[in-house]
């Protein structure tokens, strides 16, 4: 059972996502367990459940305070005997890519911290030493959408989550594959003068495989030349 604990100031954001889609099925099948925790429940301010404050030295916005985060992560860690990899979602993090997704799927347990406002007090990072991740070079209003991206991409790598009918084996970025997918067609054979390529209805499987390979390469050259350059080997 793969376990994810999400810590957020906006737990309601996850409600729809958790009850719909492939993830709901994976939860039903007992392959994945997801718990969402409201950071405010660990506030040290009993009255207003405040968890943020103004930065020392001035500047715009508010920071998430260190005490509630540490209290929450420690409480959540102890909910399961397996130690979790702690992830902090921030635009300052290392960019999440398929290779990273595949290694997250191997861990078995994640605690995901979603940032908001101007971010966290630096001591959150100094104390927890989380794995800081970003989902790309653009700014989101908070880590919640990034958490869904992380969970969505990770759980589909867990054996049994995808049905036999849709495997991740051929995915564009899986197992070091760095080619975009070839175009696919279904009925009708012709629509508004646009015909399905003859090769696909030829029944010649060797030719079909060759055509698909060519199309993948062509599309990748056209759209994502960067993918054709092998990524730097982290061991060299
Ligand atoms: Cl993880 N958080 C925020 N706030 N913005 C982002 C991001 C994360 N990844 C890309 N942009």
The reply to whether 11 belongs to the active site is no
Q: Of the residues 118, 132, 170, 181, which is catalytic? A: 118
Q: Of 114, 145, 129, 39, nearest to 83 (Cα)?
A: 129
Q: Of the residues 91, 116, 121, 144, which is catalytic? A: 91
Helices 144-155, 98-105: axis angle to 10 degrees equals 70
- Distance of alpha carbon 113 from alpha carbon 89, whole angstroms: 6
Atom in ligand 1 nearest the alpha carbon of residue 137: 10
Location of each CATH 1.10.1270.20 domain in the chain: 178-228
Helix (H) or strand (E) holding 88: strand 85-95
CATH superfamily of the 178-228 domain = tRNA(m1g37)methyltransferase, domain 2 (1.10.1270.20)
Q: How many other C-beta atoms can be found within 10 angstroms of the C-beta atom of residue 194?
A: 9
Structural fold of domain 2-155: Alpha/beta knot (3.40.1280)
- Distance of alpha carbon 112 from alpha carbon 26, whole angstroms: 19
pTM listed for this prediction: 0.92
- Distance of alpha carbon 9 from alpha carbon 18, whole angstroms: 17
Judge whether 3 and 26 are in contact, CB under 8 Å. Answer: no
The reply to whether 156 belongs to the active site is yes
Judge whether 162 and 156 are in contact, CB under 8 Å. Answer: yes
How many angstroms separate the alpha carbon of residue 138 from the centre of ligand 1? 7
Judge whether 112 and 89 are in contact, CB under 8 Å. Answer: yes
The reply to whether 204 belongs to the active site is no
How many angstroms separate the alpha carbon of residue 88 from the centre of ligand 1? 10
Structure tokens that stand for 187 in this block: 């009925």
Spacing of C-alpha 8 from chain mean position: 16
- pLDDT in tens for each of the 236 residues of the chain? 999 999 999 999 999 998 887 889 999 999 999 999 999 999 999 999 999 999 999 999 999 999 999 999 999 999 999 999 999 999 999 999 999 999 999 999 999 999 987 899 999 999 999 999 999 999 999 999 999 999 999 999 999 998 765 667 667 777 667 899 999 999 999 999 999 999 999 999 999 999 999 999 999 999 999 999 877 777 76
Location of each CATH 3.40.1280.10 domain in the chain: 2-155
Q: Of 55, 69, 75, nearest to 8 (Cα)?
A: 69
């Amino acid at each position: 059972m793969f376990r994810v604990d999400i810590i957020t100031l906006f737990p309601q954001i996850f409600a729809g996502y958790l009850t719909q889609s492939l993830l709901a099925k994976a939860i039903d099948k007992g392959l994945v367990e997801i718990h969402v925790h409201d950071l405010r429940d660990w506030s040290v301010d009993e009255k207003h459940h405040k968890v943020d404050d103004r930065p020392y030295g001035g500047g715009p916005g508010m920071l998430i305070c260190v005490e509630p985060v540490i209290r929450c992560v420690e409480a959540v860690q102890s909910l399961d005997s397996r130690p979790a990899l702690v992830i902090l979602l921030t635009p300052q993090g290392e960019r999440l890519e398929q290779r990273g997704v595949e290694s997250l799927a191997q861990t078995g347990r994640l605690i995901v911290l979603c940032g908001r406002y101007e971010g966290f007090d630096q001591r959150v990072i100094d104390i927890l030493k989380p794995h800081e991740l970003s989902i790309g070079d653009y700014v989101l209003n908070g880590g919640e959408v990034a958490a869904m991206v992380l969970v969505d991409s990770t759980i589909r790598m867990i054996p049994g989550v995808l049905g036999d009918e849709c495997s991740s084996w051929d995915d564009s970025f899986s197992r070091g594959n760095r080619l975009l997918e070839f175009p696919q067609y279904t009925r009708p054979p012709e629509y508004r003068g646009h015909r399905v390529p003859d090769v696909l209805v030829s029944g010649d499987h060797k030719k079909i495989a060759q055509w698909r390979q060519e199309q993948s390469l062509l599309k990748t050259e056209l759209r994502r030349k960067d993918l054709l350059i092998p990524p730097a080997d982290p061991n060299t």
